[in-house]
Amino acid sequence: MRYALAALLLAMPATAQEAVQPEQTYTVGEAQSAEAQSYMVVAAHPLAAEAGRSVLAEGGTAADAAVAVQLMLNVVEPQSSGLGGGAFALYWDASEGKLTTYDARETAPLAADETYWLGEDGKPIGWRDAVPGGKSVGVPGTPMLMERLMSDHGRMTRPRVARAAINTAEKGFAVSPRMAASIATGAERGLLAFAGTKATFFTEDGAPLAEGAMFKSAELATTLRTFAAKGASPFYTGELASNIVATTTGSPVNAGIMTADDFSQYEVKMRHPVCHDYRGYEVCGMGPPSSGALTVGQILGMLSSFDMAALGNSPEAWRRYVEASRLAYADRGLYMADSDFVKMPEGLLDPAYLADRADLISGDAASEVKPGEPPWKEGALLSPDRDKERPGTTHFVIHDSYGDVISMTSTIETGWGSRLMANGYLLNNELTDFSRAPEKDGKPIANRVQGGKRPRSSMAPTIVFKDGQPVIAVGSPGGSRIIAYVATTLIALIDWGLPPADAVSMGHVTASGGRADLEEGTAAADLAANIEAYGLEARVRNLNSGLSLMLIGADGLQGAADPRREGAALGE
């Protein structure tokens, strides 16, 4: 069953967190997929995919198309990402033969400290209480990332790449089923309590916008025109930044402490890619503050000790995966955070360390899971962080006619972010991705709040290489479960040889601590009895991913969009 990926590789030239209730229920059906020869976009909404495809058709690069896609997603999928949030991006420049990773994660206000999420009683406030309002908002990184991508790799002008999003915001579009369901659910999560979201996403009598209703936003269109004309500068030192400061500090609940200095000092950071071997492929992703590549790498590294291809898509194979996932998440909780603030073990992906961890995996009974002791020059006494980020994110992958590839995950954290709006777009609630407790049992938590720090993320944009050339680009939304969605998709492709559409449609299994979550309505749910006999709690539930996947080879491109959402794959 390895024909899909193998055919592409053989043709390649030799030189070339506990989630809140989901936004809506769904039935996993057939993935939207496509094949192309020159360029392709896989994104979470057809209008976004078309905006990117149009740019590529006119000779734009993957960077140009990424900006067109992100701006359109802010219009048609505002609850998931946009100018008020942040992102991680991997960019492969074919002409230079170089992979660059961009960290546009949001930052905490410089004045924030470890007591940021403590209540008057000195105890951490609950997550649901922390989300709404200005205190959960971090300095957005997406506007600066878009400008940086085009500066480094673009060929088009900002007015051209912003054109489709501006036109759609001005003229309107029909509200999709997913957006309508999200608005209805958002009404139960406090959207009506905030003037901006109430006026934008509800009718005058307070009813949520229904499927098929025309949605438009003159304010957002004006903001998009500002980006097209002036780039990111107004978002950090101009009126747009001032509007966010005023909105967050003047929030009717959880007023923030953000200042103009927090915006003027923000920067997109270039990080070293985190790469590791799996079955002869080089799997590359984003380093800290993302835990995505490290944790995916640990899972795959442990599974390297087992013949997953021979086991096939079987209960035994899933047991091995579940154990590897539990062990990897244990290390994630203890060690991983923004490496500009926290020293992390050098040996989290050390092959010998992962082989030792794999020895803990038994096919007969669940192991006692606790963090390991990877090679580390400087030990540190830390306490684990068990907080989990929520799913309110998007992902897209793009390949252009020049051979450049981008894999980008973008977010405002949970669906609808902080519920606050400024300049026509929603503001993130990323600061709730920090541990709300600064320490436990007298030991500091790595992912605690600190001024200027970036909260840990599970976002895992990934590009996989073979013989130095990109062959897979993948990623997903899904909060702390993103890691599982990406890792299992790579297993499906590399070990089980599934075609892209089957890989993104496969039932999900996620596991950490003493529990495995199995996706309802799929074959994964049938594993429940087996998992429980193994000694773990098995919970069958709605697991709403949003995978975007592309296979790349000399014979062409194969793309697939997750059927759980409304994405599309388009190309020529």
The pLDDT value given to residue 377 = 59
Quick one: pLDDT at residue 188?
87
Tens-place pLDDT, residues 509-541: 999 999 999 999 999 999 999 999 999 999 999
Return the sign of the alpha-carbon dihedral for residues 112, 113, 118, 119: negative
Mean pLDDT of 554-561: 95
Work out the burial of residue 91: count CB atoms within 10 Å of its CB; fewer than 13 is exposed, 13-18 middle, 19 or more buried: buried
* Homologous superfamily of domain range 3-14+31-172+216-270+393-571: Gamma-glutamyltranspeptidase, small (S) subunit (3.60.20.40)
Considering only CA atoms, which of 494, 490, 489, 487 is closest in space to residue 512? 487
Query: pLDDT digit string (tens) for 355-366?
Result: 999 999 987 888
Instruction: Tokens 């923000």: give the residue.
Output: 266
Please name the residue that has the structure tokens 């992100």.
70
Closest CA to 262 of 279, 248, 280: 248
- pLDDT of 461-514, one tens digit each? 999 999 999 999 999 999 999 999 999 999 999 999 999 999 999 999 999 999
pLDDT for position 23: 42
Structure tokens at 103: 């960290």
**The dihedral sign for the CA sequence 99, 273, 516, 77:** negative
For residues 67 and 151, give the distance between their C-alpha atoms in angstroms, rounded to a whole number: 11
Min mean pLDDT across 174-178, 198-202, 241-245, 361-365 is at 361-365
β-strand partners of 439: 444
Q: Report the pLDDT value the prediction gives residue 428, as an integer from 0 to 100.
A: 98
Across residues 440-451, what is the average pLDDT?
93
Burial of 520 (0-12, 13-18, 19+ CB in 10 A): middle
Cα–Cα dist 394/97, whole Å: 27
Q: What angle do CA 5, 506, 333 make, to 5 degrees?
A: 100
Q: What is the pLDDT of residue 504?
A: 98
Q: Which of 393, 409, 432, 488 is catalytic?
A: 393
Question: Within 13 Å, how many C-alpha atoms sit on residue 431's CB side?
Answer: 36
> Catalytic annotation on 248?
no
* Residue 376: predicted pLDDT: 81
User: pLDDT tier at 302 (50, 70, 90 boundaries)?
Assistant: very high
> What pLDDT, on a 0 to 100 scale, did the predictor assign at position 7?
45
Q: How many CB atoms within 10 Å of residue 56?
A: 26
Helices (H) and strands (E) in the chain, counts: 19, 23
pLDDT tens digits, 150-189:
999 999 999 999 999 999 999 999 999 999 999 999 998 8
* Stretch (H or E) spanning 274: strand 274-278
Domain residue ranges of the chain, discontinuous segments joined by +: 3-14+31-172+216-270+393-571
Q: To which residue do tokens 């600190």 refer?
A: 450
Q: Is the confidence at residue 15, as pLDDT, over 80?
A: no
pLDDT digits (tens, 9 = 90+) for 269-281: 999 999 999 999 9
Q: What is the pLDDT of residue 29?
A: 67
457, 433 contact by CB (below 8 A): yes
CA–CA gap between residue 450 and residue 106 (Å, rounded): 13
Q: Please, which pLDDT band fits residue 13 given cuts at 50, 70 and 90?
A: very low
Distance CA 211, CA 173 (A): 11
Res 378: pLDDT? 56
pLDDT for residue 382: 63
Band (348; pLDDT cuts 50, 70, 90): very high
- Helices assigned H by DSSP within 59-174: 62-76, 127-130, 142-153, 158-171
Q: For residue 554, what pLDDT band results from cuts at 50, 70 and 90?
A: confident
DSSP result, 390-422: ---EEEEEEE-TTS-EEEEEEE-SSTTTTS-EE
How far, in Å, CA of 148 to CA of 443, rounded?
A: 38
